[in-house]
Amino acid sequence: MTFITAEIGINHNGDLEIVKKLIDLAVVAGCDAVKFQKRTIEKVYSKEVLDSSRESPWGTTTREQKLGLEFSLKDYKIIDSYCKKKQIQWYVSCWDVKSQLQMRKFNLKYNKVASAMLIHKKLLHTIAEEKKYTFISTGMSTMKQITEAIKIFKQHSCPFELMHSHSAYPMLPSEANLRIIQTLQKKFKCNVGYSGHETGSYLICVTAVILGATSIERHITLDRAMYGSDQAASLEAAGLLRMVKDIRDLDKIFGDGVKRIWDSEKPAMKKLRDILS
């Protein structure tokens, strides 16, 4: 069955009540997990970037904006408790080693490598040594860079799944290039999913499953008009519900590939072949 992750990311705008509503949406839709992002701001961004001007609900600098979107470990304890209550898995894409080490205390089932971090070898080693099933996004990366990342995970005997992705927010549908899913499967002999950043439509995600994607990750939001750089490339409730339903229907339609005579066929078989018996 296709593994479906509802990417909450930073669409919570630092508000735990919004987080809970997004988790509820993912549960109602039938997603397998929700995902967040964790950063140590000073390690991920330069002082020049953090000091730059940026208007946001939290202030007038990029530092204030980034800090406003970051949850503390206390916040994640609340998220952990809420997800357990709602019986849904959660995990994070950490953007630095310190964050990855901090999140170990939650003993999460999955890890995620964000496209931006695919060439951060120290972080990849830190993730891979945990030996948890890891989703590796491949946006803005070359085949050589993907190969180098995979070597690290194989070195640590860490199970992984690549994810075809495009790192523009939003992605142009004309640049989806979903056949890359099959290219990656053929080259690396592994499961390959799809992480979508397109505007509104869930059609690309459904098509990815038809082409063999084993997992889907899609940003979700309560309202695409909310503040935030990822909101426009996210699905609202109606879109998420429809996407999950269609993918679950596809899982049933694909079947298991075993040829059999169904009980529902037997009346027709008796009627139409009886004279040939």
* Distance in angstroms (rounded) separating the CA atoms of residues 155 and 158: 8
Q: Is residue 10 over pLDDT 80? A: yes
Main-chain dihedrals φ then ψ at residue 265, nearest 5 degrees: -85, -20
pTM of the predicted model as reported, rounded to 2 decimal places: 0.95
* Distance in angstroms (rounded) separating the CA atoms of residues 34 and 92: 9
Residue 185 · residue 177 · CB < 8 Å: no
Q: Is residue 200 over pLDDT 90? A: no
- Confidence band, pLDDT 50/70/90 cuts, at residue 199: confident
Class of domain 3-276: alpha beta
Q: Domain-by-domain residue ranges, the chain?
A: 3-276
* Distance in angstroms (rounded) separating the CA atoms of residues 18 and 242: 21
- CA distance to 11, 55, 131, 224, 243, per residue, from 228 (Å): 7, 11, 33, 9, 23
The helix/strand/coil state of 111 is strand
pLDDT digits (tens, 9 = 90+) for 41-87: 999 999 999 999 999 999 999 999 999 999 999 999 999 999 999 99
pLDDT digits (tens, 9 = 90+) for 91-132: 999 999 999 999 999 999 999 999 999 999 999 999 999 999
- Confidence band, pLDDT 50/70/90 cuts, at residue 181: very high
Q: Cα(first)–Cα(last) distance of the chain, in Å?
A: 39
Residue-level pLDDT at 120: 98
Residue 125 · residue 113 · CB < 8 Å: no
- In whole numbers, what is the pLDDT of the chain averaged over residues? 96
Residue-level pLDDT at 277: 77
pLDDT digits (tens, 9 = 90+) for 17-33: 999 999 999 999 999 99
Mean pLDDT, residues 195-224 taken together: 94
Q: Is residue 201 over pLDDT 80? A: no
Which residue has 């099959």 as its token pair?
182
CA 225 to mean position of chain CA atoms:
21
Mean pLDDT, residues 258-266 taken together: 96
Q: What proportion of the chain, given as a percentage, has pLDDT over 70?
A: 100
